[in-house]
Amino acid sequence: MLILGIETSCDDTAAAVLRDGRTILANMVSSQDQVHGPYGGVVPELASRQHIKNVLPIVDGALRKAGVKLMDLDGIAVTYGPGLVGSLLVGLSLVKGMSFRSGIPYVGVNHLEAHLLAIHLEQEVAFPYIALLASGGHTLLYCVNGVGDYAHLGGTRDDAAGEAFDKVAKMMGLGYPGGRIIDNLAREGDPKAIRFPRDRMKKSAYEFSFSGIKTAVWHYLGSQGKGRWEAQRADIAASFQEAVVDMLVSPTINAALARDVKRIVLSGGVAANSRLRAKMKEQAEDEGLQVFYPAPKFCTDNGAMIALAGYHWLKRGRRDDFGLNADADLTL
């Protein structure tokens, strides 16, 4: 089964071709980091315009790289939510047009579901597993029992983890998106240099909160003055990152232990974080749990995970009609 997957929910225009749910023939992304960089965050109107410009070249490029023609496809999968409504509409409208003209069936994919399943692009992980989905827009904890069977366990009370990375990077004038920049800078710093507070939730609640740490960094920068904190940039990055990682690791491991689930899967852009990967693994292994994470290119938004989620639904016979609309607040 040959599936084209298209993703335009936020600021990445991505397309991939996947064969039989396991062989990635092409996976292309056009990032808009340069466009949104000067603003320190995604500007929705600019994002949709960039998608309009980039989506056809990316889709054509993916088909060409895969060596397939549109009419070879068995189905098309496209993100229809959650995300920025203008951005979602670009991908969804294109796919409806392609499907209408060619007669190739299409399905709308829930972006969150695609992140939860992305691990299967590279390796087999048995169900059930506890999935931590941490990205720029979401911080969620699920028990994934199988395709289509997701038990929501908890999530953030305020900001998403990726948002905290992006905002702290912005405060420090480091650039956008901030996660990877802080990850790299932190390698040169001491994670124990500054003790930023960890918001501790009830052990059973599986909740996260990142607004406190953001404010704590803001106050720290103010208390030091620019001349002094600039010399401590790496230590601030490492100490901030360590606090965020601690707040992500504890509820995830607690959830696995409480539900007696032996596997933990990381997903979403923040799952690319090197310290999160290392610390989650170290602490989970102490508890006899296994940790799995996708390659960084499958943690951040990509077309392959959309194709994979679409593959499962198309295989089960689902077909969407042309009445399907973009849903910015779609839940799982």
Is position 116 an interface residue for ligand KG4 (rule: CB under 6 A)?
no
Residue 1-20 contact track with ligand KG4, rule CB under 6 A, x = bound = ---------x----------
Which entry of Zn ion, ligand KG4, none binds 120, CB below 5 to 8 A by partner kind? none
Which entry of Zn ion, ligand KG4, none binds 133, CB below 5 to 8 A by partner kind? none
Spatial separation of the C-alpha atoms in residues 149 and 93, rounded to whole Å: 28
Q: Two tokens at 81?
A: 């939510």
Contact 25, 315 (CB under 8 A): no
Is position 48 an interface residue for ligand KG4 (rule: CB under 6 A)?
no
Least distance (Å) between residue 134 CB and Zn ion:
10
For 203-267, give the secondary structure using H, E and C.
CCCCCECCHHHHHHHHHHHHHHCHHHHHCCHHHHHHHHHHHHHHHHHHHHHHHHHHHCCCEEEEE
Secondary structure element (H or E) that encloses residue 25, with its range? strand 23-31
Residue 242-271 contact track with ligand KG4, rule CB under 6 A, x = bound = --------------------------xxx-
Measured from the CB atom, the residue of 58 and 104 that comes closer to ligand KG4 is 58
Spatial separation of the C-alpha atoms in residues 78 and 13, rounded to whole Å: 11
Which of 86, 293, 249, 264 minimizes the C-alpha distance to 161?
249
Task: Please name the amino acid found at residue 163.
Answer: E
Measured from the CB atom, the residue of 99 and 159 that comes closer to ligand KG4 is 159
Measured from the CB atom, the residue of 166 and 246 that comes closer to ligand KG4 is 166
Choosing from 7, 113, 159, 183, the residue that interacts with ligand KG4 (CB under 6 A) is: 183
Q: Is the dihedral of CA 162, 166, 167, 171 positive or negative?
A: positive
- What is the three-class DSSP state of 138? coil
Residue 129-168 contact track with ligand KG4, rule CB under 6 A, x = bound = ------xxx------------------------x--xx--
Spatial separation of the C-alpha atoms in residues 13 and 42, rounded to whole Å: 13
Which of 271, 309, 302 minimizes the C-alpha distance to 12?
302
Taking CB under 5 A as the binding criterion, the range among 13-21, 182-190, 245-253, 294-302 that sits at the site for Zn ion is 294-302
Least distance (Å) between residue 136 CB and ligand KG4:
3
Residues forming contacts to ligand KG4 in the complex (CB under 6 A) are: 10, 135-137, 162, 165-166, 177-180, 183, 268-270, 272-273, 300-301
Residues forming contacts to Zn ion in the complex (CB under 5 A) are: 135, 301
